[in-house]
Amino acid sequence: MCDPDDKDCVETADIKACDAKGACVTGNPGVCEDQPVWDPCADKACGDGCNVCAPDDEDCAETDVIKACDAQGQCVPETPDLCEPSSYDPCAGKDVCDFCTICDPADPNCAETLVVKVCDESLQCVVGIPEVCEEPGWAPCEDKPCGEPCTQCDPNDPDCAEDAVIKACDGKGQCVPVSDELCESPATTRAAASPPATSAPSATPPTPTASRTPRSRSATRTCSASTSSPASASRPTTTARTRPAATTARSATPPIPTAPRT
């Protein structure tokens, strides 16, 4: 029952072993072996003598403490009032984790063991193992949505100094420093971080557009003449003067004389 490193705890002389539920109980080392479990108070009434060790178990060493079966069928140290109804309640008027004693302080015939005992949640006086009175840890984001302000320190803990960083609950129940992306989904964060898509240049060459062909002045005049009014048509048509064709300029270079034939 006692922590080996706890010098203030005095272990009793009873032999103890872990049972199938993981509790350290009084019993022989073979309490969890695949064999019939020894029940020292089987078919016995309250007050009958008993032994913790089975008679055929040579590896079990029985202590010198005189034992008897109590009203619950447990082999415990014998006391004069073992089977008498007792009005003593070890946890009467006490809270959970308060220290308690199995023996009534007013009973001089009851020998209390040195094992530390406390009242559990059902106000039963049990051995004070750490799991009985273990306080739940501070959960800053318990039942809080993402983005809700939080503090790392428990407001009821005077020994905890909170820093000046503003914190909020993330989506995983953790109290972390506030950021713009705290409660954004991963898909939204990736979309915001990715650069805008640019269109790829087209591999198809542009379609050439038809250029306008300038109209010929002569064609325009001919069209105008053909669509002119009758009055204008009766007018005599004058023949346009034609410039004489350019003549070939005479060469200023004199002809080269040829040698006479001999």
Could you say which of 123, 157, 184 is where a domain stops? 184
**Domain shared by 66 and 76, yes or no:** yes
**Domain shared by 2 and 79, yes or no:** yes
**Domain shared by 11 and 67, yes or no:** yes
Domain count, the chain: 3
> Are the C-beta atoms of residues 74 and 41 closer than 8 Å to each other?
yes
**Domain shared by 65 and 14, yes or no:** yes
Task: Please give the C-alpha separations between residue 217 and each of 214, 220, 242, in angstroms, as whole numbers.
Answer: 9, 5, 18
Single-letter residue type at 42? A
**Domain shared by 26 and 90, yes or no:** no
For residue 8, tell me if it sits in a domain. yes
**Domain shared by 73 and 17, yes or no:** yes
**Domain shared by 3 and 53, yes or no:** yes
For residue 93, tell me if it sits in a domain. yes
Could you say which of 149, 184, 219 is where a domain stops? 184
**Domain shared by 80 and 1, yes or no:** yes
**Domain shared by 66 and 114, yes or no:** no
Give the model confidence (pLDDT) of 197-249 as tens digits. 555 555 555 555 555 555 544 444 444 444 444 444 445 444 445 455 544 44
* Neighbouring residues of 39: CB distance < 8 A, sequence distance ≥ 6: 73
The H-assigned helical ranges of the chain are 186-193, 217-226, 230-234
Give the model confidence (pLDDT) of 72-127 as tens digits. 888 988 888 788 776 889 999 999 889 999 888 888 888 888 888 989 888 989 88
For residue 108, tell me if it sits in a domain. yes
**Domain shared by 149 and 176, yes or no:** yes
For residue 110, tell me if it sits in a domain. yes
The residue segments making up the domain with residue 118 are 86-135
Q: Taking the complete model, does pTM exceed 0.75, yes or no?
A: no
Could you say which of 118, 135, 152 is where a domain stops? 135
